[in-house]
């Protein structure tokens, strides 16, 4: 009970008692009005009010984007672009050219590919880029030798920034550092490695077994194999071949033998040393092999001739590019795939390096292209991504480590040759002159017009004259 109500009850009781007392004492009736203090009543009232509230709501919707990995997955450029590529043809570069051409399906983008013979393609690039002005080409195919010559001359664009920009998107660390080093001069990377390559031995296992022949480990062993098969054997075109069908081919075979004998092209001052004792030994062994294994007809036996002869069964053994070895197991090309075998390149001397060089082919971007280098680089990336190289491995040696398992049976021999071989050309600009002069004079040894020493001395003198004129020799 509240205090106010108690006070009221007490007051009323007192008033009643007083009234009864007075009534008893006198007859007079007195009426007294007592007013109670006002009471405060508190009542809770629930009030409901409707309020309209507007609040922005972010809606996230998942949309599945299906990307066809076999296609060129580029956004169309804002304005029309035409990209021109030049290179030379062999099975794996033919494949990559087709991959480049898939980008023709992109709106506002046109990609043209032009594959020539290697010497012709390289000459076209030299003529176009040495003249200065805008480059007619946007993608240039080159190998180790062209990196030093073309990038060293300032004709090619460094790609470091683009490689870093797209490293994660195209998993460029999948390509080993050694391959990138082949296109690197003073820290600047000038090419994307698209092909690994070397020359190694390809032979008919059944013929070797029937004749009781061991796989040759040196070129002296090769000569013994040729003697056993017989240069005049009517069953075969010849027992074995090197490629001496052109000046550039002579130079390449000489380079491999020269290094295998411990020699080299130039000293630290860019002076020629290829005409010293190791150089003469290299030419002499080439002549010995040619005379014992090939005969006069062998000097004109080209790479294409070698490949076809192996596939048709008229050549028991050859030293051939790994990029062509992939064709040795294709049933549409040969019925002998199960008896064609592979071994690393022979050595010049026992326990020396194998007379096989380590090669990469690259896609490079000319420095004076008129197109957006970023767009050109992405076109290259689409052509040589992991999916593309998985398919390319069927026709040649690729550069991505993740697809190595997709290669052919020749890969073991090719990789052993690279590991145990003589390496790559030095990446100095003067090497281009050396190669040109050797290509000019070495074939004259094959025709008998010059001795080995005379041809090498003539090439050295011609090199020095031009190298001095171009400032490579002070």
Residue 55 is predicted with a pLDDT of 65
- What backbone phi and psi angles, to 5 degrees, belong to 347? -95, 160
Residue 21 is predicted with a pLDDT of 32
CA atoms of 27 and 209, how far apart (whole Å): 160
Per-residue pLDDT of the chain (474 residues; tens, 9 = 90+): 444 444 334 343 433 333 333 333 344 444 444 444 555 455 555 545 555 656 665 655 554 444 576 789 999 999 999 999 999 998 899 999 999 999 999 999 999 999 999 989 999 999 999 999 999 999 999 999 899 999 989 999 999 999 999 999 999 999 999 899 999 999 999 999 999 999 999 999 999 999 999 999 999 999 999 999 999 999 999 999 999 999 999 999 999 999 999 999 999 999 999 999 999 999 999 999 999 999 999 999 999 999 999 999 999 999 999 988 888 888 999 999 999 999 999 999 999 999 999 999 999 999 999 999 999 999 999 999 999 999 999 888 999 989 988 888 999 999 999 999 999 999 888 999 999 999 999 999 999 999 999 999 999 999 999 999 999 998
Residue 20 is predicted with a pLDDT of 32
- What backbone phi and psi angles, to 5 degrees, belong to 320? -135, 160
SS3 414: helix
CA atoms of 64 and 360, how far apart (whole Å): 39
Q: Spell out a b/e string for 250-287, using b for 16 or more CB atoms within 10 Å of the CB, else e.
A: bbbbbbbbbbbbebbbbeeebebebbeebbbbbbbbbe
Structure tokens given for 221 = 């062993």
Residue 65 is predicted with a pLDDT of 42
In contact, 138 and 380? CB cutoff 8 Å? no
- Tokens 């007192």 correspond to 14
Which ranges of 131-204 does DSSP label H, i.e. alpha helix?
Answer: 144-146, 160-165, 177-181
Structure tokens given for 388 = 């593309």
pLDDT tens figures, 393-449: 988 899 998 998 888 899 999 999 999 999 999 988 899 999 999 999 999 999 999
- What backbone phi and psi angles, to 5 degrees, belong to 198? -165, 170
Structure tokens given for 338 = 């199960």
Choose among 458, 454, 432, 457: nearest CA to 270: 432
- What backbone phi and psi angles, to 5 degrees, belong to 128? -70, -45
């Amino acid at each position: 009970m509240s205090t106010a109500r108690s006070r009221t009850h007490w007051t009323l009781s007192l008033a009643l008692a007083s009234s009864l007392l007075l009534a008893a004492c006198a007859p007079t009736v007195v009426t007294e009005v007592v007013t109670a203090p006002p009471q405060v009543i508190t009542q809770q009232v629930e009030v409901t009010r409707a309020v309209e509230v507007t609040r922005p709501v972010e809606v996230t919707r998942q949309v599945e984007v299906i990307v066809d990995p076999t296609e060129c997955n580029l956004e169309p450029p804002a304005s029309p672009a035409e990209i021109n590529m030049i290179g030379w043809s062999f099975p794996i570069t033919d494949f990559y050219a087709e991959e480049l051409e898939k980008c023709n399906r992109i709106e506002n983008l046109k990609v043209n590919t032009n594959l020539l013979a290697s010497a012709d393609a390289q000459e076209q690039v030299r003529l176009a880029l040495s003249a200065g002005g805008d480059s007619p080409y946007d993608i240039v195919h080159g190998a180790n030798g062209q990196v030093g010559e073309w990038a060293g001359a300032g004709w090619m664009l460094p790609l470091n920034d683009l490689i870093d920009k797209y490293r994660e998107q195209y998993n460029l660390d999948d390509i080993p550092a050694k391959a990138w080093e082949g296109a690197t001069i003073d820290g600047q990377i000038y090419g994307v490695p698209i092909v690994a390559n070397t020359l190694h031995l390809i032979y008919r296992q059944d013929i070797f077994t029937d004749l009781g022949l061991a796989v040759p480990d040196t070129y002296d062993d090769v000569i013994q194999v040729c003697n056993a098969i017989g240069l005049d054997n009517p069953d075969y075109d010849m027992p074995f071949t090197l490629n001496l069908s052109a000046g550039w081919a002579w130079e390449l075979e000489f380079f491999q033998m020269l290094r295998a004998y411990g020699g080299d092209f130039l000293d630290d001052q860019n002076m020629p040393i290829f005409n010293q004792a190791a150089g003469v030994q290299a030419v002499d062994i080439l002549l010995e092999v040619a005379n014992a294994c090939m005969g006069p007809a062998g000097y004109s036996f080209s790479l294409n001739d070698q490949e076809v002869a192996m596939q048709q069964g008229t050549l028991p053994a050859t030293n051939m590019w790994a990029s062509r070895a992939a064709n040795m197991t294709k049933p549409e090309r040969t019925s002998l795939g199960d008896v064609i075998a592979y071994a690393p390149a022979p050595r010049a001397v026992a326990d020396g390096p194998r007379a096989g060089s380590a090669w990469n082919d690259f896609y490079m971007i000319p420095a004076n292209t008129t197109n957006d280098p970023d767009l050109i680089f992405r076109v290259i990336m689409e052509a040589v991504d992991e999916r593309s190289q998985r398919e390319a491995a069927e026709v040649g040696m690729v550069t991505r480590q993740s697809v190595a398992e997709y290669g052919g049976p020749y890969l073991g021999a090719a990789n052993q040759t690279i590991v145990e071989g003589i390496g790559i050309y030095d990446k100095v600009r003067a090497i281009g002159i050396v190669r040109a002069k050797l290509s000019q004079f070495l074939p004259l040894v094959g025709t008998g017009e010059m001795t080995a020493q005379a041809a090498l001395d003539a090439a050295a003198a011609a090199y020095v004259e031009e190298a001095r004129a171009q400032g490579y020799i002070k």
